[in-house]
Amino acid sequence: DGIPDTLDMDDDNDGIPDSMDFDSDGDGSDDLFQDIDKDGVPDSVDDDMNNDGIPDHKQDHDCDGIPDIVDPDDDNDGYFDTKQDSDNDGLLNEWDDDDDNDGIPG
């Protein structure tokens, strides 16, 4: 619809405001019961959402001994995770309408 998701009150354009929408991505499944890794455990209670056998709260991508869930810089690039520039365009993700540089805002 041309409106960046960060400003869009109805991201999936189903006529139901996101604040009232239980299927915010429009896939026909209630968000509470989403199961991204298809292991039969809803993401809301899944301790291993990428199904790699390592509980997500113990992931340590940069191997610095600090679990990602509490590591302020879990890729050890010198920037806090909240201050990332994923597409290296000079704009922090929080200010970048297209933070993956795919040409689609959101």
Residue 88 pLDDT class (50, 70, 90 cuts): confident
Q: What pLDDT is recorded for position 96?
A: 79
Q: List Cβ neighbours of 40 (8 Å cut-off, separation of 6 or more).
A: none
Q: What's this model's pTM, rounded to 2 decimal places?
A: 0.35
Which residue in this structure is represented by tokens 């869009």? 8
- Residue by residue, DSSP assigns 18-39 as GGG-S-TT-SSS-GGG--TT-S
Q: List Cβ neighbours of 94 (8 Å cut-off, separation of 6 or more).
A: 82, 83
Alpha helix (H) ranges present in the chain?
none
Q: What is the pLDDT of residues 19-70, one digit of tens each?
A: 777 776 667 777 777 787 888 888 777 888 788 888 877 788 888 887 777 7
